[in-house]
Structures are given as C-alpha cells and as structure tokens.
Structure 1
Amino acid sequence: MDLPVVDLAPYLNHIAGDAAAEEEGVRTLCATVSASLRDTGALLVKDPRCSAADNDRFLDVVERYFARSADSKRLQERPNLHYQVGVTPEGMEVPRSLVDKEMQDKIKSMPEEFQPATPKGPDLKWRYMWRVGPRPASTRFKELNSEPVIPDGLPEWKETMDSWGSKMISAIEVVAEMAAVGFGLPKDAFTSLMKEGPHLLAPTGSDLEQHGSEGTVFAGFHYDLNFLTIHGRNNNSASASEGV
C-alpha cells in the first residue's frame, strides 16, 4: 500500500497567517489527508515541531522501563482501573483474529503468500498507558481519567512522557483539522470533540530474549477504541502509539 507523506508545515504556516502559504495548495493538501483517511484509514505525516531527538529521548526512557524484570514492572499494574493507566503485562490483550471466526475464515481464504500470521494466544507485548492532556473536572468515567502511574527510578519519566505525548496530540489535532477541511466541514468539526478526551500515550515493549523465535506474533489484529491513533518512529524493542 502506497501512503502519501503529508508535510504539515504548509498548513501550520497557513493558520499562523503566513501570506506565502498558498491557500489553494493548502486545500489540496487537506484533500489529500481526507482522501487517504477515507480510502485507506491511514497516512504518513511529517511535523516540523517533532524532532528525531525528541523521539529518541522518548524511546530511550521507554526501553529502560521495559528492560526491567516482570515483577518490577508489575508494580505499576492497575487492573482495578481496567489497565487504563500503568502497565498492561503480556498475555492480557486478546487480538480479534484469535476469537473472530469470520476473520479467521477470511484469512484462510486468502492466497497463502498473503496470509498474515495467526496468533496462538493473547498478545506477548507489554503496554504502558500514560494519560496526556487535560481531563474534564467532572466525569462519569473515572477509570478513563485516573491519575497517572509513575515508575520509580526514572526521574525523567513524567517530563519525557508528557512532552512526547503533547507533541503527538498537537500533530494529530492538525491532521484532524486538515481532514475536516478536506471533507468540506468546519475545521473544528473533529477537534471540538477531542477536547479533554481520554488521550493516551501507549508505548509497547516486547521481550525478544524470551520470545525471539521466528514467526512470533507480538500484537495480533485489533481495533483501536479511539478516533485516530498516531505512531512515532520505533525500533526493534519498543513502539509507541497515542490515541485520541
């Protein structure tokens, strides 16, 4: 699948009042965003406000956390809050392809060379849920708005997670605005619904020493619960997503 790479800079310049940002070109860019989301559900974006150094700083602290022992990581586990904050251990998240008979039949009907690997059990990845952005002062959904869990021994954790999370939200808000414009809607059609939402930065980590054999599935097919999910650059030991 060929996805367009959308540079957010022209739109950012346009909304900042830069006269050099051609309005027609910006509208074309917005149409590209909306068309890609409509036709494929995905696109690639380049945000000049997010640097590789920011991404590396985030990945570094996340890697050091996931390198800890299972017992150490479980100190941040909050099952009473439905794992909406803190760590979710491996073996907890069940992929849809493991339980959906219709999906399994569809996979089997595909040519063998195109069939995805089918998980044999729950996901083998660990996940950390970190809330980002303001929460409503009053809510009926306390589990979605619980206080964040901060691991001991990582003094830079909160600042790093908050910083990268805010950059991810900023990028996705621009994408949401551009999509709205591309669909012919008011530019705040989506972002107005995202205000004070339960946004989560949710990095995942996998133990390749324990689960390093070829064909291992760390995360099976699943639906995200959110309006949009954004992924930063990852590496072999950690990946990150943020849902709004």
Structure 2
Amino acid sequence: MELSVIDLKPYLDAIAANHFIDAALNPQLNTICSEVSRTLSETGALLVKDPRCSAQDNDRFIDMMERYFEQPDEFKRLQERPNLHYQVGVTPEGVEVPRSLVDEEMQKKLKSLPEECQPLTPTGPDPKWRYMWRIGSRPSTTRFQELNSEPVIPEGFPEWKETMDSWGSKMVSAIEAVAEMAAIGFGLPNDAFTSLMKQGPHLLAPTGSDLKRHGKEGTVFAGYHYDLNFLTIHGRSRFPGLSIWLRNGKKVEVKVPVGCLLIQTGKQIEWLTAGECIAGMHEVVVNNRTVDAIKVASQENRSLWRVSSTLFAHIASDAVLKPLGHFAQSPLADNYPPICAGEFVEKELAVINLKGNGAL
C-alpha cells in the first residue's frame, strides 16, 4: 500500500495571501484538510511535500550527522547527559528500551496480530545512537526544567548549530501546517493544536545505526513502539528499514519519496482527540532492502551509518493534555483524563529507561 502524498503548497499559499484560513469558504482547501485529518485517523501516517523543506536540506543534515556518528564512542559520550533524561545531547546505543519489551499490554496486542503482521521481537535495548537537539524557544518559567534544558554542541562541528536549527525549524513549520490542517479537518479551530505547541520541547532527534556492525538482516534497531509526543516527522533516510502499522493492524514498509516528509501520530494527539487518532506503532529493522542498500553504499564508498532525520513535535510541557472541543463528548474521553504534558512525558520516559530506573 502506498501512503498518499499531500502537497502543503496550496494551504501555505492561502495563508500567505489571507493570513487567516476559513476552509469552509474554500472547497479545495476544505477537501485537503479533510484528507489530512482522515488519513491521520485511519492510518496514523501521512506523506507531505513542503516547498520549504528541500531534499538538499535533508542531505546537508544527514551528511553532518553521518560524520558525527562516525566519531569514536569516547568522543560521542562527551555529549551524553543522563541526568537530563537524555533529552539533550547523545543517547548511546544500548540505553533506550523498546516499549514492546516492557509493556505487557502491548505484548498481548502484538501477539494478537496475524503472523505476517507481527513485529520482530527485540532481545534487549535498541542498538542505535540518538542525538537530541532542541528546536525553537523555551518557556522562561516551567515546572519541567529538565525537559527544557540548554543544547549540547560537539566540538569540531562549526556548522552544527546552524544546520540543526535550520532543518529542525523547517520541519516544525511543516508540522504546524499539518496540525492546522488536521484541526480544520476535525472541525476544531485552526489553532486548536498549534496554540498548545507554542514553546513546546520540540526535539530534532536523529538516530544513528552502525550498519557495518549491525547490518545483519533481522537486526532490530528500534523495537515496536509508539512515540510519546504530538506528531513525529522524518526526512528521507538513505537506508530503508522503517515499517509502520495501520490502525487496522496491517504492517506497511514505508518508502518516503525524494523531497517528501513522513508524519506519524504520537500519543499526545491521541489524547487531544480522545482516540480519534491513535499513536502509530512502528519499528526499524534491517530487511533485505536494507542489505541491498548496504552493498551499494559499500561499493560507492559511502557512509554505512543509517541516519534517521527525525523530529519530535511536542505539546508545551506546562499545557494540559485533554480531549479538545467536540472530542470531550466522545464516549472514549474518560480514557484520556487531564494531565500536564510534562508529567505525561516524564512517566513515558521512565518506562523506556530514559528517566531514573527503567524496567530493565
């Protein structure tokens, strides 16, 4: 199954012309916004094309991150901040625990899937590195200081801050456009989601997986899990391996076309829509297409680090997560009681071993 690609340009052009969107007055925009909300609800994933985010931007970012992940482990560990729940700087391989390894309810759910749709079972923590970089401004006062800490810049990368900030802010802008379109499609005010995202702890969080060491087919880089944030956006990786699960339980390997971005639903949008959108399940595994790409990269003497160009967009830490607008009347609304977004994030981080003592 191919995911549909939504071109954001008509919406962005309409905003630039009108500064305010009343989709009801524009049938074409109304149709696109309805398609965004329907696709997020039915599949938990969406491919978009944003003229502000070019393939060249993505390549420049991945080039730099490949050089970083190729550095010796002892150099990379200088950017490690476990006291800040690994929410800034580097997370070494072998730290983050896939939720499917420790969540009994999730284990029951995945065993109930048809055999051909079941995820591969990880045997321990993920063998991937990750770098966390804050995007956007932070609140001057917050109850969740460790979720809103200062960034960490590695030595020897003079272009680091500009490259990270440039690519990250472009991806946040794409998320904001999709969030507005989804709100309109769901019959909410167009700023229903984006007003809660202001000064959120958005994280540009590329992962680095060493295919030279872990390039065997069946290696699980990111075990079956959902994302705890609002929406996740990925640029195109140079090595395949990401699979997602649609709401109906079908497993789909994602192919992101050149110049496109992949958006996935996280747990916070599930909360705000009382389950109309479900946090999308996904995994990253070395498959036969990954192995083929490794061979080609080796022949061309290119980097064998698989870099994901990932950004986690969050609801602001001090904002309250609860079903919005008409979703508050949903029969499922009681499953999503009000909770401070920062408190919600801290609880989720503890389960996957990034805050305090995890389950493993």
The bucket for the TM-score relative to the shorter chain is: over 0.9
- Select which of 94, 101, 119 maps to 2:122: 119
Alignment of 1:74-113 (within 5 A): 74-113=77-116
What SS does structure 1 have at the residue aligned with 2:71? coil
2:92–2:128 CA contact under 8 A, matched in 1:
yes
Which residue in the other structure is 2:242 paired with?
Answer: none
Q: 1:54 aligns with which of 49, 53, 57?
A: 57
Q: CA offset at residue 109 of structure 1?
A: 4.0
Contact 1:14 / 1:23 at 8 angstroms: preserved in 2?
A: no
Question: TM-score, structure 1 length as denominator?
Answer: 0.95
Query: What whole-Å deviation, never above 9, does each CA across 1:151-177 have from its counterpart, x for those lacking one?
Result: 111111110000000000000000000
TM-score (norm 2): 0.65
Matched, 1:241 2:310: yes
For 1:51 and 1:149, locate their aligned partners in 2 and report how far apart those are by CA, in whole Å: 26
Contact 2:119 2:224 in 1 (8 A): no
Q: 1:208, CA displacement in angstroms?
A: 1.4
Task: Report the residue type matching 2:7 in the other structure.
Answer: D
User: What residue in structure 2 maps to residue 4 of structure 1?
Assistant: 4
Which residue does the alignment assign to 1:174? 177
DSSP-derived class of the 2:90 partner: strand
Q: List runs of 5+ in structure 2 lacking aligned partners.
A: 240-305, 314-360
Contact 2:80 2:89 in 1 (8 A): yes
Superposition deviation, residue 184 in structure 1 = 1.1
The CA deviation at 1:71 is 1.0
Distance change (3 Å), C-alpha of 1:70 and 1:243:
same
Q: Does 2:142 match 1:73?
A: no
2:34 to 31, 36, 41: 31
Whether the aligned pair in 2 keeps the contact of 1:55 and 1:233 (CA below 8 Å) is yes
Deviation per CA, 1:177-198: give whole Å up to 9, x if none: 0001111111111100000010
Percent identity between the aligned chains?
73
How far apart in 2 are the matches of 1:30 and 1:110? 31
Q: Match for residue 191 of structure 2?
A: 188
1:144 is aligned to 147
Shift of 1:146: 0.7
Question: Is 1:16 equivalent to 2:16 in the alignment?
Answer: yes
User: What corresponds to 1:228 in structure 2?
Assistant: 231
For these two proteins, the number of residue pairs brought into alignment is 242
CA contact (8 A) 2:58 2:309 kept: no
Taking only aligned residues, the RMSD between alpha carbons, in angstroms, comes to 1.6
CA distance in 1, matches of 2:16, 2:110: 47
1:106: Cα distance to partner? 3.8
| Matched residue type, 2:15 | I
Q: Distance in 2 between matches of 1:41 and 1:5?
A: 14
| Structure whose residues are more often strand by fraction | 2
